[in-house]
Chains A and B, each alone.
Chain A
């Protein structure tokens, strides 16, 4: 089992729709969860992070965390063509043998079509 798993997609949604990106992780000791966006040929850029169970909203983005299910998701409301990118889920563990390690999923390719 991979440490962090994402649906590879590609995920295609029409402009204005809600895009839902999902991620599961295997280490129950994980403490912080991040979503990064990566445009083709560019480095990842941070969108959001979340620590606590529940929802965290920032503009059109909502991160959802369920530690019991080891599941984190990202919702993008009112999707725009400029949101088309690869979205990377990352999980951080600051204790034990994974001290300080940020582990990434394989990424989900999102395409928002006009």
Chain B
């Protein structure tokens, strides 16, 4: 696609429910990143994929968070048993190692509200 696509754009869920957030990176981009941004805060790194493997999962906040990527393309971030502190915007980004600067492009984010 032309840009990084994320869905849903907005999600309101009840505490304790599971949610899945989807990211479709720019076509041909091998690297994919998930970040979280709480209101008024900076970007918190969650996980990075190179192809289908995740060399860096260091940012996942707890075992309630997991992510996968299949076919070197679409990625899903799953949050189990959501808590109110999970409310944030979840940003996905992708990059191609071959491009100048390994420029990383962001999607518009998935805004999650846990009530």
Contacts and interface: CB of A to CB of B under 8 A. Distances in A.
Contact of B56 (A42, A46, A51, A99): A99
A57 interface: no
B41 A106 contact: yes
B91 A43 contact: yes
B105 A92 contact: no
A106 B42 contact: yes
Contact of A100 (B31, B43, B105): B31
Interface residues of B, number: 24
B101 A32 contact: yes
Given A43-B107, A43-B109, A101 B102 contact: no
Interface of A: 32, 34, 42-46, 49, 51, 88, 90, 92, 94, 97-107
Contacts of B71: none
B108 interface: yes
B42 A49 contact: no
B6 to A, nearest CB: 9
A94 B50 CA distance: 11
A88 B43 contact: yes
Contacts of B33: 102
